[in-house]
């Protein structure tokens, strides 16, 4: 009899232990959280490669507590709607350059001829003024995780090469919804108009616009070169692909989970920067092989015309803020 009682007790203990472990497993499963990340770049782009690496590292660093579902190709909207979606919480994480909803001052990095080259940009972003810039947005419900290079922007059109500002006069040029880019092109004499990223090819093909001012990888990935055969390399503006998250979503994570996000973002930025030179060399070679006519542009005559752009945005964002940014960019060279 005692043996049976002992066996019965052991059976109940086993059942209780199994039930407890099951509850723990269910709690762990429920603690896992899936975050939605959206961007408008091609699924074949370096941007998408970067965020896929980011997703893998977040899962690893968080020990499976966080997963990232990536939506490329503008599946959840163009850059503006993505920023709005992150703001209202329907998207957790976004990338893009349409940042007025986050903080208009983030557009300061797009002031014309602010940076000499990519090394200059990266030194600026990693410095004090760059860190100050990346702290913006929290008052509007965003947390910035970092900034990837959207890159230096060029001139491309289907009429003629651009060598001087006079060559831009009267050309209808598409821009992203960035007020600095719009203001700069108008100052240089072009007829600038903002058109959503996903509509650019058809706008070029139908003659709604004559050209674009693209970053090279977008120009290639989106096949705009098929309908704009003249590419003039000017590096007239550098623009950021800001990496931003809904603040409520971010604050709702545990500190170890937030640290996993921050570390994965920092590691991804380092990896991404290391890919740029080889990627640009490959893209430029392939564009030339496809018949695109490429010319180098002397930026000096263009730069001589853009002081009014600085004056306008100093009035909007504060003279001290613009002066500090210009000074930090010079010191980072």
Q: Where are the beta strands (DSSP E) in the chain?
A: 33-38, 66-71, 93-96, 142-157, 172-175, 191-194, 211-212, 230-246, 293-296
Architecture in CATH for domain 34-331: 3-Layer(aba) Sandwich (3.40)
Q: Who's near 173: CB < 8 A, 6+ residues apart?
A: 155, 157, 185, 190, 191, 192, 193, 209, 210, 211, 212, 213
Q: What's the rounded mean pLDDT across residues 8-22?
A: 44
Determine contact, residues 79/40, Cβ cutoff 8 Å. Answer: yes
Distances (CA, A) of 198 to 42, 46, 84, 284: 10, 18, 17, 22
Backbone angles phi, psi at 222, to 5 degrees: -90, 0
What is the DSSP annotation of 4-41?
HHHHHHHHHHHHHHHHHHHHHHHHHHHH-EEEEEE--S
Quick one: residue 125, left, alpha or beta (phi over 0 = left, psi -120 to 50 = alpha)? Answer: alpha
CA 46, CA 299: separation in Å to the nearest integer? 27
Backbone angles phi, psi at 302, to 5 degrees: -75, -45
Tell me: the pLDDT tens digits for 137-184? 999 999 999 999 999 999 999 999 999 999 999 999 999 989 999 999
pLDDT at 19: 44
Cβ atoms < 10 Å from Cβ of 18 = 10
Q: Is 155 exposed, middle or buried (0-12, 13-18, 19+ CB in 10 A)?
A: buried
Tell me: the pLDDT tens digits for 112-144? 999 999 999 999 999 999 999 999 999 999 999
pLDDT at 4: 47
Determine contact, residues 105/87, Cβ cutoff 8 Å. Answer: no
Cβ atoms < 10 Å from Cβ of 223 = 12
SS3 at position 225 = helix
For residue 31, what pLDDT band results from cuts at 50, 70 and 90? low
pTM score: 0.88
Tell me: the pLDDT tens digits for 67-106? 999 999 999 999 999 999 999 999 999 999 999 999 999 9
Gyration radius from the chain CA atoms: 24
Q: What's the rounded mean pLDDT across residues 201-226?
A: 96
Q: What's the rounded mean pLDDT across residues 13-22?
A: 43
Backbone angles phi, psi at 35, to 5 degrees: -110, 140
Annotated domain spans of the chain:
34-331
CA angle 78, 225, 305 (to 5 degrees): 80
Q: Who's near 217: CB < 8 A, 6+ residues apart?
A: 45, 46, 151, 279, 280, 283
Residue 296, pLDDT above cutoff 60: yes
Q: Who's near 11: CB < 8 A, 6+ residues apart?
A: none
Question: Within a 13 Å sphere around the CA of 177, how many CA atoms are in the beta-carbon half?
Answer: 17
């Amino acid at each position: 009899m005692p043996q049976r009682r002992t066996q019965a007790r052991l059976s109940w203990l086993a059942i209780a232990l199994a039930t407890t472990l099951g509850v723990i497993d269910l709690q762990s499963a429920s603690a896992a959280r899936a975050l939605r990340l959206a961007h408008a770049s091609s699924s074949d782009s370096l941007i998408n490669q970067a965020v896929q690496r980011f997703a893998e590292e977040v899962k690893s660093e968080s020990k499976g507590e966080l997963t990232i579902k990536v939506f490329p190709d503008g599946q959840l909207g163009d850059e503006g709607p993505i920023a709005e979606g992150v703001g209202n919480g329907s998207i957790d994480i976004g990338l893009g350059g349409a940042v007025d909803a986050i903080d208009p001052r983030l557009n300061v990095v797009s002031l014309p001829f602010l940076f000499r080259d990519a090394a200059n940009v990266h030194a600026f972003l990693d410095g004090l003024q760059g860190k100050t810039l990346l702290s913006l947005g929290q008052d509007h419900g965003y947390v910035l995780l970092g900034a990837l290079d959207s890159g230096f922007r060029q001139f491309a059109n289907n009429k003629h090469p651009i060598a001087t500002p006079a060559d831009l006069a009267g050309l209808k040029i598409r821009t992203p919804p960035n007020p600095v880019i719009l203001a700069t092109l108008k100052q240089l004499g072009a007829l600038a108009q903002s058109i959503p990223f996903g509509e650019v090819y058809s706008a070029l093909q139908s003659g709604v616009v004559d050209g674009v001012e693209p970053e090279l990888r977008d120009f290639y990935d989106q096949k705009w070169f098929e309908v704009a055969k003249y590419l003039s390399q000017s590096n007239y503006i550098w623009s950021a692909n800001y990496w931003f998250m809904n603040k409520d979503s971010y604050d709702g994570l545990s500190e170890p989970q937030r640290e996993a996000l921050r570390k994965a973002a920092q590691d991804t930025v380092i990896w991404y920067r290391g890919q740029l030179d080889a990627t640009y060399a490959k893209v430029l070679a392939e564009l030339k092989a496809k018949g695109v006519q490429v010319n180098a542009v002397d930026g000096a005559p263009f730069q001589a015309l853009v002081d009014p752009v600085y004056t306008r945005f100093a009035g909007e964002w504060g003279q001290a803020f613009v002066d500090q940014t210009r000074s930090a960019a010079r010191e980072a060279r």
